[in-house]
Amino acid sequence: MTDIGAFNEKLVLQTIRSAPQGIGQSDVVRLSHLSRQAVSLITRRLMADGLVEQAGRRISGPGKPHTLLRVVADARLAIGVHLDPAHIAVVICDLAARPVARTTLAPPTEDPRADLERVAAAIAELSRSLGASVPAPGEGEPSTHRRLLGIGIAAPAGLDADAGILRDPPWIPGWRDVPVVDALSAVTGLPATLDKDTNAALTGEIWSRHLETSQTVLYMYVGHGVGSAVSGGGRVHRGGTTQAGEIGHLPIGRADQHCICGRHGCLCLYTDAHVLVGAAHDAGVEVSESSGTTAALEALSAAAAAGSAPARDIIGSHAGALGEAMRILAGVHDPQRIIIGGPTWPALRDVGEAEVRDALGDWLASSGGVVESSHLGDDVGAIGAASLFLEQELAPGTVAPGTA
Ligand SMILES: [Zn+2]
């Protein structure tokens, strides 16, 4: 098969991929800065491998019409695993980061070995449902183009991405020093990579939407806790130890609450999911936690939609704090686009988005920037995880952490 590890092949593939409606070969030459001969040769190889196909012809001016090229989205597949305190999500995505199969498992327990067996069983089941095949060593051309490339794993902070190990993720007790990359690779025979859920979510946005790589994008991740991620030039900025964007203890200028870190007004005091659920209980809004935190927040959101003033106030206060943090971060990072997402944001956005826009009013007016909610929904962590692997495998010049 085509060696999609080669830089020029990745560059051509990315150029074609970024035009889902189809792109002429001369445009690929212009945008990739490769020679016409190189693009022609690589395109033929990609087509022979089923990764690229003709997408009709376009007539522009005199001369013969251009043949348009596009990526065959389901030619390769990647698995995404999101280890979240509220659930474990497993998806299989195509090359456009669209989920073609998905399942949600019960949250992580204090037995990581058993949990990873559940994940491996889910991967096997989803793969079978698609007729996907794991390439065996020395295998020739695939009998089917449904090929699994590998696994991306997204998890809360407290991880060593380079080593592929979860060190001490918050809210997932019992998962201490768990080598998730090696463990899932061993049982599936597929390569795997690990990153923070925040970075995965932003990678999912960039990959699935072909966001302009010239843009600086700030992502606000709303889950059990709140985190941020920033990209420039199409790459997520991970920091020296993959800890960039740990903003839980960012002071947001309030003095009414004291934090365990010794300071006042830390963001997490107003935005951690359990804070919202606790406030709902205190205010007499009926939210049951028996089905998990996400369900409790959905109940809070439903109460707000039904006209409960306390429910609206609680979500509004959360979003106000979020907006204040985003205003500070917008000043630090100077983004052109701010995206809010994460597993619990879909439950909060109906009330919360207007509050966030309010808090960002000055920034919106002065920067001309865009603020929007993620379109990836509550599967954003798993879709992002799959995107991490796609990016590592298929984007030119990527050096990804935590690869087995
Ligand atoms: Zn603090």
* Distance of CA 223 from the midpoint of ligand 1 (Å): 17
Q: Are residues 169 and 93 in the same domain?
A: yes
Calpha distance 168→57 (Å, rounded): 54
* Distance of CA 165 from the midpoint of ligand 1 (Å): 26
Number of domains into which the chain is organized = 3
Looking at the domain assignment, is residue 240 inside a domain? Answer: yes
* Distance of CA 251 from the midpoint of ligand 1 (Å): 7
Task: Note residues around ion ligand 1 (Cβ under 5 angstroms).
Answer: 249, 259, 261, 266
Q: Are residues 363 and 388 in the same domain?
A: no
Query: Looking at residue 5, what is its pLDDT?
Result: 61
**How far does the chain reach from its first CA to its final CA, in angstroms?**
21
* Distance of CA 288 from the midpoint of ligand 1 (Å): 28
* Distance of CA 278 from the midpoint of ligand 1 (Å): 18
* Distance of CA 252 from the midpoint of ligand 1 (Å): 10
Q: Are residues 67 and 148 in the same domain?
A: no
Residue 67: give its domain's CATH number.
1.10.10.10
Looking at the domain assignment, is residue 2 inside a domain? Answer: no
| Axis-axis angle for helices 197-209, 380-394 (nearest 10) | 70
Q: Are residues 228 and 359 in the same domain?
A: yes
H/E element, 386: helix 380-394
* Distance of CA 194 from the midpoint of ligand 1 (Å): 27
Calpha distance 338→327 (Å, rounded): 10
Calpha distance 365→362 (Å, rounded): 5
Looking at the domain assignment, is residue 402 inside a domain? Answer: no
Query: Looking at residue 146, what is its pLDDT?
Result: 56
Tens of pLDDT, residue by residue, the chain (404 residues): 455 668 899 999 999 998 988 999 999 999 999 999 999 999 999 999 999 999 887 776 677 778 899 999 999 999 999 999 989 999 999 999 999 999 999 999 999 999 999 999 999 999 988 886 554 444 544 444 358 999 999 999 999 999 999 999 988 989 999 999 999 999 999 999 999 999 999 999 999 988 777 899 999 999 999 999 999 988 899 988 888 999 999 999 888 999 999 999 999 999 999 999 999 999 999 988 777 888 899 999 999 999 999 999 999 999 999 999 999 999 999 999 999 999 999 999 999 999 999 999 999 999 999 999 999 988 999 999 999 999 999 888 654 444 44
Q: Are residues 200 and 234 in the same domain?
A: no
* Distance of CA 100 from the midpoint of ligand 1 (Å): 40
Indicate the burial class of 389 (C-beta count within 10 angstroms; 0-12, 13-18, 19 or more): buried
Pairing of β 147-155 and β 99-105: unpaired
Calpha distance 59→151 (Å, rounded): 41
The DSSP-derived string for 258-311 is B-TTS-BSBTHHHHSHHHHHHHHHHTT-----TT-HHHHHHHHHHHHHTT-HHH
Q: Which of 71, 87, 116 is the last residue of a domain?
A: 71
DSSP state of 65: P
Calpha distance 358→324 (Å, rounded): 10
Q: Are residues 237 and 352 in the same domain?
A: yes
* Distance of CA 358 from the midpoint of ligand 1 (Å): 25
* Distance of CA 247 from the midpoint of ligand 1 (Å): 9
> What is the domain range of residue 277?
212-376
* Distance of CA 59 from the midpoint of ligand 1 (Å): 61
Query: Looking at residue 245, what is its pLDDT?
Result: 93
Spell out where 156-300 has E strands. 159-160, 165-166, 192-196, 217-222, 226-232, 235-236
Q: Are residues 370 and 385 in the same domain?
A: no
Give me the amino acid identity at 267.
L
Query: Looking at residue 136, what is its pLDDT?
Result: 46
Q: Which of 304, 319, 314, 297 is nearest to 378 (CA)?
A: 297
Q: Are residues 328 and 310 in the same domain?
A: yes
Instruction: State both tokens at 288.
Output: 């049951």
Residue 147: give its domain's CATH number.
3.30.420.40
